[in-house]
Amino acid sequence: MFVQILFYAFSAILLAAALGVIASRNPVHSALSLVLAFFTSAALWLLIEVEFLAIVLVLVYVGAVMVLFLFVVMMLDVNIERVRGGFIRHAGLGLVVASLVAAQMIGVFWARNLGVDATLGAPPLPDDYSNTRALGEVLYTQYVYPFELAAVLLLVAIVAAITLTLRQRPGLKPQDVAKQVAVRREDRVRLVTGVDAAGTGPGADRDASPRGGEGA
Amino acid sequence: MLSQYLPALIFLGVASGLAAVLLLLGTGLGRWLARAPDDAEKRSSYECGFEAFEETRMKFDVRYYLVAILFIVFDLEIAFLFPWAVALDSIGGFGLISMGIFLGILVVGFIYEWKKGALEWD
Amino acid sequence: MTAILDLWAALPDVVRSTAWILIVTVAVILSVAFTTLWERKVIGWMQLRKGPNRVGSIFGLLPGIFQPFADVIKLLLKEVVLPSAANKWLFRVAPAITLIPAFAAWAVMPLDPALVIADIDAGLLYVLSLTSVGVYGIILAGWATNSKYAFLGAMRSAAQIVAYEIAMGFALVGVVMAAGTLNLGDIVRAQEGGVSSWFFLWLFPLFVVYLIAGVAETNRAPFDVAEGESEIVAGFHVEYSGIAFALFFLAEYANMILISALTAVFFLGGWLSPFEGVLAADNALAQPGFHWLFLKLFFFLTCFMWYRATFPRYRYDQIMRLGWKVLIPVTLVWIAVAAVMVHFRVGPWSAN
C-alpha cells in the first residue's frame, strides 16, 4: 500500500518534470527538470529493487551527464527566440517522431497485455541478497563480450571527444615540471668576466650577475 | 532491502526541510531588519567600481566541455568497477582477466588523451 | 531508565530512525558551529595568535566558546541581497542544493557497531552519488548570480570537483575490493583484527589519494581556487549575503566533517578500537564504539585546518595536473596491485 502511494507520487513528479523539460523557456530550467526526472526515475527503479542501477543512474546521469549538459547550456549563448521561431517549420517532423515513439510504447504495453502490474513491486528476495553482487557475478563472466564492447565504446568516445574539441592555442608557454627539475647550472648561469683589463672591476670573480637567469 | 531506503528518504526530507526553514527564516528576518535603502546600486552586480562591460554569460573555453566528457567516460568506468570489486572473490581468475582487458583498453584511451595534450591546462 | 529503554524499543522503526535522523542533523549542525571555532583557534595557534577569545566563557575557561552562536545570529539577521541581474529562483535554491547532500549522506554512516540509520546494501554508492550532486549547487549559484566572478568560480570549481571525483571513485574501488562489499558497516567489519588490518596500510597509496581528493572535493585550501579571494573575490558566492551565504558555509563544513568520517570508515576502521588485539578483549579501551570514530574524525578534521595553515594555494593548472596526471595513474596502478593481492589472498582479507 505504502509502496503504491510512493509509486504514484514519484510517477507524478516524473511526469511533471518531464513536462517541465520541454515546456520551460529557459534551457537551464529544462536541464534541471531533467535532473529531477532522473532522480524520480531512480526512485522508481528502487521500488522494483534494482538497487545498483538506480544509484548508478543518479551517479552517472545526474552526477556526470547532466553536468555536461549544464556546461553546454550555460556556455553556449543559445538564442532562444530564434530556436522558438523554428517551431512551426519542424512541427510536422516532430509529430511523426512523437507518433512513432507513442506507437512503440503502446506496443510494449500491448505485448505484455497489461499482465504485469508494476505497482505491486518485485517478488520478495532473500535477506542476504545483494543486487550489486548478483550483477557482478554475471557481468564479467557470462556477459563478458558486451562488457568488453562497452570498453571499446568508451575508448571511441574518448577519441571522438578529443578530435572534436581539442584545439591548441598558439603562443602559450605551459609549465613543464620535468624540464624545470632537470635544469642544470650551466643552462641558467653565465660566467661574466671582469669589465676592465686589470680584472678588478665590478663583476670580476663572480659566478653570475644577479640577472644571469634571464640571460640563459 | 527496500525498507532500508525509507530512512534515507526521510533524511533527504529532513535535510531539505532544514535548508528551507533556514532560508525562509533568514530571508524574512533580514528583510524585516534591513536598514539600508533598497536601491539599484545595491542590487547591481559586483564589479571593481565600474559598470560591467559585457554580458556575464560569455562563450567559454571548450576545454571545460572536454573535461566534462572525459569525466563521463571515467565515471562509467568506475560504475563498471564497483560490481566487479564486490564480486571479485567469486568470479575468480576469469573475472580478473576480463576486467584487466577492460581497463587495458581504457588505459589506451587515457594514454591517448595524455599524449594529445587534452589534460594540459594553460 | 529501563522503562524508557523499553518504550524506545517498542516504538516503530520509522519513529526510531526519524528520531536518530533529527539527533544526527542537530549534532552535525553543532559540530559545524564548533568546527568553525576550532579552525580559527587552531590556525590562530599555528600563527602565534590567540584566535577568538572575546565572546563568552564558562567560568573563565574556554574563552570564545560562544563565538559560533554570535556568528550564526549575526548571519541570520543580515539582509539577503538579491542582485537585480540574478535568476531569482535559482539564486535562492542553489544554497539549499549544496546543503542537502552534505547532510543526507549521513544516513548510511556506521556510527556505532549497532547504529546505522539506513543500513542499505549499496551504501558507498549512495554516498558517492549524493556527493556528486553537491556540485550542482555551486554551478547553479555561479550561473544564477549573473556575475563574472561567480561564473568563473563556478566553472573552476566544477571542473576541479569533476577531476577529483574520478580519483576518489577509483580509490574507493580499492576499498570495495578489499572489503568485498559496498555496505559501510560491513566495510568497517572487514577491517576487524587490530591496526594491522586497517585498510590504510594495505591501500596506502589509495588512502593518500583519497585524503587529497577529499580536500579538493570540498574546495578547501590549498585547492580553493573556486573562492580564490585574491583573484575572483569569492568565486561562486560573491553576491551571497546573510543566511544564503551561511548555507554555503554550513555545507562546506558539513562536507569536511563527512569526508573526515568517511576517511575514518574506509581506511581507519571506523568505530573499531586501535587497541583491539593488543589489550585484553574485556578491557574498556579495546571495545569498539562511537568514540573511536569520533576521535579519528576529529583527527582528519584538524588535518583540514593544518593544510589550510600550511600550504599556499595551488595554481589552477597545477590542480588539474595533480588530479588527472598523478592521482588517477596512482589509483589505477594500485587497483591492479590490490586485485592481484585479493585474488591470491595476500593481506588481511585472506580470511574471506
Binned at pLDDT 50, 70 and 90, residue C199 comes out as confident
For the residues C187-198, what does the mean pLDDT come to? 83
For the residues B81-103, what does the mean pLDDT come to? 86
Task: Give the pLDDT of residue A212.
Answer: 43
Share of chain C above pLDDT 90, in %: 13
Query: Is the Cβ–Cβ distance between C250 and C32 less than 8 Å?
Result: yes
For the residues C93-115, what does the mean pLDDT come to? 88
Residue A78, pLDDT above cutoff 70: no
Task: Give the pLDDT of residue C352.
Answer: 47
Q: A51 and C122 in contact by Cβ < 8 A? A: yes
Task: Give the pLDDT of residue C261.
Answer: 92
Query: Is the Cβ–Cβ distance between C95 and C247 less than 8 Å?
Result: yes
Binned at pLDDT 50, 70 and 90, residue B117 comes out as confident
Query: Is the Cβ–Cβ distance between C112 and B73 less than 8 Å?
Result: no
- Name the residue with higher pLDDT: C98 or C83: C98
Query: Is the Cβ–Cβ distance between C248 and C141 less than 8 Å?
Result: yes
- C-beta neighbour count of A164 within 10 angstroms: 11
Which residues 43-82 of A are in CB contact (within 8 Å) with C? Answer: 51-52, 55-56, 58-59, 62-64, 67, 70-71, 74
Share of chain A above pLDDT 90, in %: 11
Task: Give the pLDDT of residue B57.
Answer: 65
Query: Is the Cβ–Cβ distance between B2 and A131 less than 8 Å?
Result: no
Binned at pLDDT 50, 70 and 90, residue C263 comes out as very high
Task: Give the pLDDT of residue B50.
Answer: 65
Helix (H, G, I), strand (E, B) or coil at C193: coil
Closest approach of C281 to chain B, Cα-based (Å): 30
Among the residue ranges A158-172, A195-209, B53-67, C314-328, the one predicted with the least confidence is A195-209
The grid coordinates listed for A13 are: 513528479
Vertex A67, ends C251 and C246: CA angle to 5°? 20
Which is nearest to C170 in space by CA: A161, A162, B99? B99
CA distance to B43, B119, C147, C148, C245, per residue, from B47 (Å): 12, 32, 8, 8, 19
Nearest to C242 among B30, B56, B103 (CB): B30
For the residues A98-122, what does the mean pLDDT come to? 71
Binned at pLDDT 50, 70 and 90, residue A96 comes out as very high
Interface test with B, best of C100, C119, C138, C341 (most B CBs within 10 A): C100
Residue A63, pLDDT above cutoff 80: yes
Among the residue ranges A124-128, A139-143, A163-167, C322-326, the one predicted with the least confidence is A124-128
**Residue type for C243, please?**
I
H-state helical runs in chain C: 2-10, 13-46, 67-77, 88-104, 123-145, 148-179, 184-189, 199-202, 204-217, 229-232, 242-267, 290-310, 316-321, 328-343
Nearest to C135 among A32, A67, A132 (CB): A67
The grid coordinates listed for A10 are: 514519484
Task: Give the pLDDT of residue C208.
Answer: 92
Give the domains, in start order, of chain B with CATH numbers. 2-116 (1.20.58)
The grid coordinates listed for B67 are: 573535461
HSE at residue C116, side-chain half, CA atoms within 13 A, is 23
Query: Is the Cβ–Cβ distance between A87 and A14 less than 8 Å?
Result: no
Q: C87 and A28 in contact by Cβ < 8 A? A: yes
Query: What crossing angle do the helices spanning B62-116 and C328-343 adopt, rounded to 10°?
Result: 60
Helix (H, G, I), strand (E, B) or coil at C146: coil
The grid coordinates listed for C258 are: 563527512
Binned at pLDDT 50, 70 and 90, residue C149 comes out as confident
For the residues C68-73, what does the mean pLDDT come to? 86
For the residues B6-17, what does the mean pLDDT come to? 88
| Residues in A touching C143 (Cβ below 8 Å) | 28, 70, 74
Closest approach of B46 to chain A, Cα-based (Å): 20
Nearest to A162 among B85, B103, B116 (CB): B116
What digits encode the pLDDT tens for the residues A2-54?
788 888 888 999 999 999 988 887 788 888 899 999 989 998 888 887 888 88
Three-class SS of B64-81: HHHHHHHHHHHHHHHHHH
Q: B8 and C104 in contact by Cβ < 8 A? A: yes
Average pLDDT of chain C to the nearest whole number:
84
Task: Give the pLDDT of residue A213.
Answer: 43
Task: Give the pLDDT of residue A83.
Answer: 63
Q: Provide the greatest CA pair distance for chain B.
A: 72
Q: B81 and C336 in contact by Cβ < 8 A? A: no
For the residues C179-192, what does the mean pLDDT come to? 86
Residue C217, pLDDT above cutoff 90: no
Q: What are phi and psi of C11, to 5 degrees?
A: -65, 150
Out of 1.10.10.10, 1.20.1440.230, 1.20.120.1200, 3.40.50.2300, the CATH code matching A2-124 is 1.20.120.1200
Q: What are phi and psi of C286, to 5 degrees?
A: -90, -5
User: Which residues make Cβ contacts (< 8 Å) with residue C307, sequence separation at least 6?
Assistant: C215, C220, C221, C222
